[in-house]
């Protein structure tokens, strides 16, 4: 009886230790995914809003802004602004845009839009 009680206690302790480990990993992931974009628009180097971040502040609509630090390197984005943001693969927003982010949206992986590692400039436009 005593051995069975000790075995159960050991199993419970092991299960709790596993849950604590999973909980801290889940908290770290949730913190990374919940990180805010304090500017009008943010690009991230890697999927899931990780890696280097480039923040953009838009002064007006229809003004092209070049990506300097993440030129052709962005893999995710957050758009907390009220503007639709168009992505271009050229430096001066020339030609047709390849992707548009809806106002107040985010995309954890630009691969599904065919624009992973392609953004060179962005332009906010009225929705």
Task: Tell me the mean pLDDT per 10 residues along the chain, length 127.
Answer: 49 43 41 68 97 95 95 96 96 89 96 93 94
Q: What is the DSSP string of 70-114?
A: TTTT--EEEE-SSSEEEEESSTT--S--SEEEPTTEEES-GGGGT
Go through the chain and tell me how many residues it has. 127
Give the pLDDT score at 50: 95
Q: CATH code for 39-125?
A: 2.60.20.10
Give the pLDDT score at 51: 96
Give the pLDDT score at 1: 52
Give the pLDDT score at 54: 97
Give the pLDDT score at 127: 82
Q: What are the boundaries of each domain within the chain?
A: 1-34, 39-125
Q: In what order do the strands lie in the sheet with 41-46?
A: 50-56, 41-46, 76-79, 105-107
Beta bridge mates, 88: 121
């Amino acid at each position: 009886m005593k051995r069975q009680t000790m075995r159960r206690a050991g199993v419970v302790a092991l299960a709790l230790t596993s849950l604590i480990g999973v909980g801290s990993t889940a908290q770290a992931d949730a913190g990374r995914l919940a990180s805010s974009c304090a500017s009008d628009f943010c690009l991230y180097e890697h999927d899931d809003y990780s890696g280097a971040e480039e923040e953009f502040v838009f002064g007006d609509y229809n003004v092209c802004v070049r990506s300097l630090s993440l030129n052709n390197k962005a893999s995710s984005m957050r758009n907390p602004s009220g503007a639709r943001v168009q992505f271009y693969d050229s430096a001066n927003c020339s030609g047709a845009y390849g992707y548009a982010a809806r106002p107040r949206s985010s995309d954890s992986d630009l691969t599904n839009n065919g624009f992973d590692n392609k953004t060179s400039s962005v332009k906010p436009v009225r929705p």
